[in-house]
Structure 1
Amino acid sequence: MTQQNIAGTISGFFEGGLPVRLTAFDGSEAGDLDSPYGLEVLNQRGLQYILTAPGDLGLARAYVSGDLAMHGTHEGDPYPLLSLILDKTDFARPSIADIVGLVRNLGISNFNPPKPPPQEHLPAWRHTIEGLRTNVGSALRWARHSQERDADAIHHHYDVSNAFYEHVLGPSMTYTCAVFPTEDATLEEAQANKYDLICRKLDLKPGQRLLDLGCGWGGMVRHAAKHYGVKALGVTLSREQANWAGEEIKRQGLDDLAEVRFSDYRDVPESEFDAISSIGLTEHIGVKNYPAYFGFIRDRLKPQGRMLNHCITRNDNLHNAKAGAFIDRYVFPDGELIGSGTIVTAVENQGLEVQHHENFRLHYAKTLTGWNKNLVEHWDECVAEVGIGTAKVWGLYMAGSRLGFERNMIQLHHVLATKTLKGVSDYPLRHDFGV
């Protein structure tokens, strides 16, 4: 390796070599030079990002900041390129001798970490340090999954721009896994089918009361009120979501049945609900808080009431629940994933009877494909709304997540349970969910 071989140096970080072409600002090239896909390190700052945070975080920083280019694929859907390198970006930690060699060949200045892009969320340890600098009470308020810190994490991801989400998610404004009734169903058809399936699993009937935790833009609330005649309350920690949902409820004339409240779920005082849905919230609450969360749900249900938990999961119950560095810093701060068995255990330990357990892994891959397609089709509008850096973050994360679901690195599970008392659940001998 010589001082003029940046591409060769970076390529060496990728386990098994780089299956796409790599070029750098020093004129060097490496990897598969015949590949239709390529990475290009455009300047010294891009090199610094990669060297000082080796792995997906450094690559993401360089890409989001405009210092690393992807060739052969659209920025709104880098799936083709990511599919080749996704499992190769866990760079091995270099030895002291390797570090000395890198410094000698590339220069010490390239190991001075640049400031992260503005899209990066404050990491967990920084929250604690910043809190302690103020006072101990502030540090406690910023403890992992405190109400204050959860609100900040939700604000980072969901209060981007409702217009941006309208472009990416489509008319349903639904940011959770769809359920495709057929292979060729549209994304909108699949989202409506998902809500209807959950309503059937919960056995909703006119006049009943539904609580939807982490309701987003109110899709479940509106569907249940409009099609099943229930009185539905949704809560979200995103003020932008609550405002949008409230306006849409009024537009559809559902004010007498549907409400979306800007609130932490822990502050909901009502109880005696016939059914509770949790669609995409469990990922945010922290595994250690599962007992309290499902205990809260149990206490808010009527006897024989039903609960449906819809949650992204890992493919096992053994590994660390925290997300990777890129996801944690740019997408879901403080997000935690664990196997569905851990969720089932937590539900059962709170006295709820699990009745049905289902995996929708491939449905989420198809959902993400649809979102990437929407982002590409509305790329200019999305960039105008949130900026090129944030738009690139979304393209990167959705394409990478699609690969995660396709390769069974992550899954999506429904867990349906009843508040069974003295052996009475009001659950049928066999469920068919109306299909």
Structure 2
Amino acid sequence: MHLTSLLWTAPGGLHRRTIGGVLVALLATLLIAPAEATARPDRDKPTPDRLDGTVRVATFNASLNRPGEGDLRRDLSTPKDQQARNVAEIIQRTRPDVLLLQEFDHDPEAPGLFSRNYLERGQSGAEAIHYPYRFTAPVNTGVQTGFDLDRDGEVGGPGDAHGFGDFPGQYGMVVYSKHPIDTERVRTFQNQLWKDMPGALLPTDPESGESWYTSEELDVLRLSSKSHWDVPVRVGRRTVHVLASHPTPPVFDGPEDRNGLRNSDEIRFWKDYVSGPRTSRWIRDDAGRHGGLDARSSFVVAGDLNSDPHDGDSRPGSIGQLLEHPRVNTSVTPTSRGALEESRVQGGVNLQHEGPPEHDTADFAEPPGNIRADYVLPSRDLRVRDAAVFWPTADDPLSRLTGEYPFPSSDHRLVWVDLEIARHR
């Protein structure tokens, strides 16, 4: 979700939860996932660096976005930004080996500043953490299309960009890794056109039945609201492809449901990408190479996918495209006791949800309430040893890092999965 830790303004002027609990930022989703085991709830506790050969992969929508271009670089240029310190401490407490951060404004200098001034400095007694490898690239948020996509009568502004944003790169992404990133084999799909997806869920005007977008608009409109990245990480002699994305929230539109449809197709991109050459041949990366991932390759789909398998606002079946995919390992679902506690304490719509509250990864106002929005989904050839959501209970001293609105870090929680990856293959 595009959310700051204090306030977020959406198209049409909606605002994030106020102190009185007024509604705002949403997102969410869908149908029923296949039967899944759950990780032990006590695994949301901090753990030391692993010595057993497992690799911890994590995703975290850290809400390190800022209202103006260059603001994040300014805030990270000293070690004094409290939100960045809290985010860094969460990372230090959970100690991922490979980490995808979202809502981290794209800036060539910002990832290095965050490393030097925050991650590599111990926060409140936590041990510093070092990532010798990282990857970031431009995203579509704030990149103007030149058309009035939101039909507000004006061309320009965040609603007319390829992805909602006040400036190019707002709400970007970055991958940090303790293991080498094979930068020469990274594939990005920022420029992939939405209309080129076979059977794309392109919106129609509910009054006229005609396409919501003109043919001229569809000739330029990209599928990714941010981007889709295939980032190969070398673990010993083995490569694991980190498939990173952050689909648009399926809300902040109208009855045409253009954001809900796009969210579903952004998730479908990865379904097609890992499904073999027949299904993935339509895909074209930014270097002009066609096709998806080799069937023998190991992968992990990671990110804030803005879709819950049971509750919320995304289209039925959206996240099920991955949760029910034969190549995806859903044997263990990350959980936390903090999410279970928070659902009970906040009550309201949370008590009406169909999904298990311990699976929630985001603390949202009503609607939709707390939902599962963030995922780390490995391929079936990778064994899951453990998994959890960093959401401490209120009696845990570390709950100061997650807290209540206005959140000290983010309204999302870090999600991690420990994978058994053979060093030789």
* Same fold, TM-score > 0.5, yes or no: no
> Given the two structures, how large is their TM-score scaled by the length of structure 2?
0.27
Larger Rg computed on CA atoms:
1
